[in-house]
Amino acid sequence: MDQDQFGILMEKAYKDALDAADAIKALAEADREAASKELDAAKAARQAVEAETEKIVETYVEERRAQLIAFTQNELLRQLALKHLEAGKKAEDIAHWLDVPLDYVTKIEAMKFRFNNPFAKKTPLQKQAEALGNARLRYHTEGRGGTVYYESDAGKFDMWWEFGGGDAIAIINIPSEKHWEAQTNMHIDKRAAVLNYIGDQVVQDQASGNGYFEVSGDFLTIYK
């Protein structure tokens, strides 16, 4: 091979090397652009998740706040009706004074009689649990509240609770009639029996049996 041919080959090899370097550089640039786009997309997705999470939390807090306000209003009204009942006032008069339905007062009157009457019969907890399919409760406490977990062969769900005030030991947020079946996977016909069991069991577990419970709206309240 003469010198001219060698020079041509070297020039071609050099040019090929430059072309390969340019190709590698272009590929690397494309990879960087793709990685940058993926990073931007990931950041945007994270921001969307954070925004949605914040929205969900705000909605939950606002709903819970509204529930607690409604509970407090109802509890004050209940205590006022109970005070009049204990003073011997008639249910019809109390309903008129407080501008509430008559059955609102009569239910409080019946509940008061049930738990102040030593002859009132209650189904033993064991029989209640068996009737509901081996029902049982678990508790979690954190600060001034926590969670009550209901489990049975028929279904399971959880409820948040908080310490109450006055005669109320604790308030438990229960699945409403509207959302009962969706939240518990149990027929609405089971609601009363399940809530009665929960109320009786919580009184036994958390108040040593010295108390009673009342179901009103979305709350089950434990009283001492």
Separation in Å, CA 118 to CA 114, 122, 221: 8, 10, 21
Q: Is 71 exposed, middle or buried (0-12, 13-18, 19+ CB in 10 A)?
A: buried
Cα distance between residue 34 and residue 39, in whole Å: 9
What is the distance between the alpha carbons of residues 100 and 94, in angstroms, rounded to a whole number?
8
Alpha helices by DSSP H, listed for the chain, are: 3-86, 91-98, 102-116, 125-131, 180-184, 191-207
What count of other Cβ atoms lies within 10 Å of the Cβ of residue 95?
A: 18
Write down the pLDDT at residue 184: 95
pLDDT of residue 72: 73
158 within 8 A of 216, measured Cβ to Cβ: no
Q: How far is 144 from 33, CA to CA, in rounded Å?
A: 52
pLDDT in tens, 49-82: 666 667 665 665 676 677 677 767 777 787 788 8
Strand partners, 140: 147
Output phi, psi for 159, to 5 deg: -140, 135
Please tell me the predicted confidence (pLDDT) of residue 38.
Answer: 72
Taking alpha carbons only, the member of 114, 116, 108, 115 closest to residue 85 is 108
Taking only Cα atoms into account, the Rg of the chain, rounded to an integer number of angstroms, comes to 34
pTM: 0.59
Please state the φ and ψ torsions of residue 213, each to the nearest 5 degrees: -130, 160
Confidence of residue 115 (pLDDT cuts 50, 70, 90): low
Tell me the pLDDT tens digit for each residue of 127-171.
999 999 999 999 999 988 999 999 999 999 999 999 987 778 899
pLDDT, residue 212, reads 87
